[in-house]
């Protein structure tokens, strides 16, 4: 298959690269402190509007904090939440999906019914309730998102496992007397890794939006930490 310059996702890759670079080099890129404000300089408009200032390119908030600096530093929070939440959700969902698909029977039925319940829940509403009940913190936001995200991994991994376990190399391993744990770790899990990578990358943007929604509603990352919400 021919791959031309228009076939590659250059624009999404560039946006992701800019996000990572902004998070890594935030202290060098930020013109001001993201948490310290000047009440006398509150609500300054962006510099291209009347009353704007080049000192605050995107203006200031109601506490006099530089908006551009908070956006740059907020990328750190967004990336941290996304990477950790997806890792936790992916680990849990993958384990349950592998067990469910390989064991089958009653184990598969119970785990998949739990997965169906998880997929049917309104994620944003449940996340708001769970974070509001617990103490708002970055750790709680990550745990809530991970607990609500794992069914997506479990369902897809289970489907992949059902197909892979019917292959000849798995049957030969069973005949050779290999344990279920050995077969899953050596034969099935490596074959579902490409699917896991695709699912994980697709969830990054969703988790960033979910974290921003929770922070915007006041139940996400507690202030004065900069967050995109």
Beta bridge partners of 60: 66
208: confidence class by pLDDT, cuts 50, 70, 90 = confident
pLDDT at 85: 92
**Mean pLDDT calculated for residue range 2-20:** 62
pTM: 0.80
Residue holding tokens 């001001």? 32
**The CATH number, out of the four listed (1.10.10.10, 3.10.180.10, 1.10.3720.10, 3.40.50.10790), of the domain defined by the range 77-216:** 1.10.3720.10
Count other C-beta atoms under 10 Å from residue 197's C-beta.
11
What is the domain partition of the chain in residue ranges?
77-216
pLDDT at 12: 66
Residue 184's nearest CA partner among 64, 102, 120, 125 is: 102
87: confidence class by pLDDT, cuts 50, 70, 90 = very high
DSSP state string for 146-205: HHHHHHHHHHHHHHHHHHHTTSHHHHHHHHTT--HHHHIIIIIHHHHHHHHHHHHHHHHH
pLDDT at 3: 37
154: confidence class by pLDDT, cuts 50, 70, 90 = very high
In tens, the pLDDT along 31-69 reads 787 778 777 777 778 888 887 777 778 878 887 788 888
């Amino acid at each position: 298959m021919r791959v031309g310059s228009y076939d590659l996702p250059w624009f999404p890759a560039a946006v992701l690269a800019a996000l990572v670079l902004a998070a890594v080099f935030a202290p060098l890129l930020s013109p001001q402190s993201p948490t310290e404000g000047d009440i006398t300089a509150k609500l300054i408009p962006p510099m291209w509007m009347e009353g704007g200032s080049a000192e605050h390119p995107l203006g200031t908030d109601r506490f006099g904090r530089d908006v551009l600096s908070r956006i740059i530093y907020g990328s750190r929070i967004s990336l941290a939440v996304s990477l950790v939440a997806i890792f936790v959700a992916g680990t849990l969902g993958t384990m349950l999906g592998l067990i469910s698909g390989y064991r089958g029977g009653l184990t598969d039925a119970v785990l998949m019914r739990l997965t169906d319940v998880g997929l049917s829940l309104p994620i944003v509403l449940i996340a708001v309730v769970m974070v509001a009940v617990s103490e708002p913190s970055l750790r709680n936001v990550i745990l809530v998102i991970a607990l609500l995200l794992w069914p997506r991994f479990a369902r897809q991994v289970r489907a992949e496992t059902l197909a892979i376990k019917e292959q000849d190399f798995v049957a030969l391993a069973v005949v050779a007397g290999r344990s279920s744990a050995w077969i899953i770790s050596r034969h099935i899990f490596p074959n579902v890794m490409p699917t896991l990578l695709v699912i994980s990358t697709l969830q990054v943007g969703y988790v960033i939006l979910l974290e921003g929604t929770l922070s915007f509603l006041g139940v996400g990352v507690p202030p004065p930490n900069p967050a995109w919400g």
